[in-house]
């Protein structure tokens, strides 16, 4: 069965169920560490291959978009969580109109960086970086 690419124009980012207004790009990086288990060998083999076991999984990500002050349940809530060092639940949606259904990644996140930017000839922008605390779920 062929897969269907998903166009991002109907994606979004939410804190719980509240839309974060003016965000137009999100990214989520999920990785798993490894631990080397290679031991000395006495079999005379000149080529010793490394061996590993899986380690801990984790993640991080970024939200980007236009700065929207006054978005009390979205961008202002991100700022408040950053100041309070409180984890928030982020729901990152690939396409709310996808068929058969939208794909959504849910994470508990600690905000680690807030980066507003202004320009005389463009919209004011913002980015928020986060570290995932706990499991990433996909629905």
Q: Domain limits at 74?
A: 9-29+60-138
Domain of 83, CATH number, reads 2.30.110
Q: What is the mean pLDDT of residues 3-32?
A: 90
Residue 67 lies in a domain: yes
From CA 77, how far away is CA 89, in angstroms rounded?
11
What are the C-alpha distances in Å from 16 to residues 12, 35, 70, 123? Answer: 12, 35, 18, 27
Residue 3 lies in a domain: no
Q: Taking the model in full, what pTM does it have? A: 0.86
Residue 54 lies in a domain: no
Residue 20 lies in a domain: yes
Q: Which residues are within 8 A (CB) of 99 and not within 5 positions of it... i.e. 6 or more apart?
A: none
From CA 47, how far away is CA 116, in angstroms rounded?
52
The total of structural domains in the chain comes to 1
Residue 50 lies in a domain: no
Residue 40 lies in a domain: no
**pLDDT tens-digit profile of 88-136?**
999 999 887 766 666 899 999 999 999 999 999 999 999 999 999 999 9
Write down the pLDDT at residue 8: 78
**pLDDT tens-digit profile of 51-69?**
999 999 999 999 999 999 8
């Amino acid at each position: 069965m062929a897969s269907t690419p998903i166009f991002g124009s109907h994606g979004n980012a939410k804190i719980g169920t509240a839309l974060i207004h003016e965000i137009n790009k999100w990214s989520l990086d999920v990785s798993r560490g490894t631990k080397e288990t290679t031991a000395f060998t006495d079999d005379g083999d000149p080529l010793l291959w490394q061996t590993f076991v899986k380690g801990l999984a984790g993640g991080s990500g970024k939200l980007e978009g236009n700065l929207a002050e006054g978005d009390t349940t979205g961008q202002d809530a991100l700022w408040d969580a950053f100041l309070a060092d409180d984890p928030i639940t982020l729901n990152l949606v690939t396409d709310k109109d996808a068929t058969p259904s939208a794909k959504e990644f849910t994470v508990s996140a600690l905000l680690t960086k807030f980066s507003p930017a202004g320009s005389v000839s463009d919209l004011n922008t913002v980015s928020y970086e986060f570290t995932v605390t706990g499991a990433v779920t996909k629905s």
